[in-house]
A and B are shown apart, each in its own frame.
Chain A
Amino acid sequence: MTGSKASRITYTLDSSLDSVNRVEQTAEQVAQKAGFDDDEVFRVSMAAREAAVNAVLHGNAYSPDKRITASFETTPKSLVIRIADQGPGLDPATLPDPLAPDNLLRGSGRGIFLIRSFMDEVEFRMLNPGTELTLIKHLVSA
């Protein structure tokens, strides 16, 4: 792995699909630069995309008055991505399990599950208003 030097990029973006795409592309570039292989780059960029979708769609509800912030930090040990919105707040305990038989054929509700599947650590923080998701991928085995 490379990434011996810490670096950080932060964006403030409007609540749009263009912002979602920008977050995904930046995550892909940062993960590549950090030295992850292609499969991990895919997982990291998809997790970042899902977090951005959550912020833009479920958090800010595409409001032109609300912004999302996205930061990408590479430390010697980890890639840390933080996505925050200005919405009503998300309590992860209330999210239905998409793998439960009753939910398996639902047309939505898999985003947070995929984020948790693809990242090593996922943290939720209530901002009042808003929610911040922190996605962490370790650069080296613990």
Chain B
Amino acid sequence: MSSVKISTRQVDGVTILDMSGRITLGEGSVQLRDAVRDLLAKSQKHILLNLGDVTYIDSSGIGELVSAFTTAKNQGGELKLLNLTRKVHDLLQITKLYTVFDVKDDEASAIGAFKK
């Protein structure tokens, strides 16, 4: 089973992490954690996670999204989610996290929603 792949790009002061694959216990979750920590350490505090090509996420991956969100917030940053697949959307609904995250389905409006 392949793990997650993450590529990074900058648009108007927002760092977009384009993620694909599986965010699960082990490598996938660790990669996400490290990527967000690296950005915050470099004071890149406007983070948009593009989950459009994330095919699978388990409870560990959900926990990692929550931890990334709270870590960014605690350091004065913002973390938003973009392009949820139906399965990830449903998981966030079931766990009552959908309203905790700021979820967007359009990249331009997501970028515009960051407080800059």
Contact A20-B25, Cβ < 8 Å, known A46-B58, A99-B95, A108-B60: yes
Taking a contact as CB atoms under 8 Å apart, the answer to whether A113 and B58 are in contact is: no
Taking a contact as CB atoms under 8 Å apart, the answer to whether B96 and A99 are in contact is: yes
Interface residues of B toward A: which range?
20 to 34
Q: Of A24, A99, A110, which one neighbours B62 at CB under 8 angstroms?
A: A110
Minimum Cβ distance to chain B for residue A85 (Å): 15
Contact A105-B70, Cβ < 8 Å, known A21-B1, A50-B58: yes
* Closest chain A residue to B86, Cβ basis: A39
Interface string of B27-66 (1 = CB under 8 A from A): 0000000000000000000000000000000111011101
Determine the main DSSP class of A at the interface with B: helix
Determine the main DSSP class of B at the interface with A: helix
Taking a contact as CB atoms under 8 Å apart, the answer to whether B25 and A98 are in contact is: no
Could you list 25 examples of A-B contacts with CB < 8 Å? A17-B25, A17-B26, A24-B1, A42-B87, A49-B58, A50-B58, A53-B25, A57-B25, A104-B96, A105-B66, A105-B69, A105-B70, A105-B100, A106-B66, A107-B63, A107-B66, A107-B67, A108-B59, A108-B60, A110-B95, A111-B59, A114-B59, A114-B91, A114-B95, A117-B94
Residues of chain B at the chain A interface (Cβ within 8 Å): 1, 24-26, 58-60, 62-64, 66-67, 69-70, 87, 91, 94-97, 100
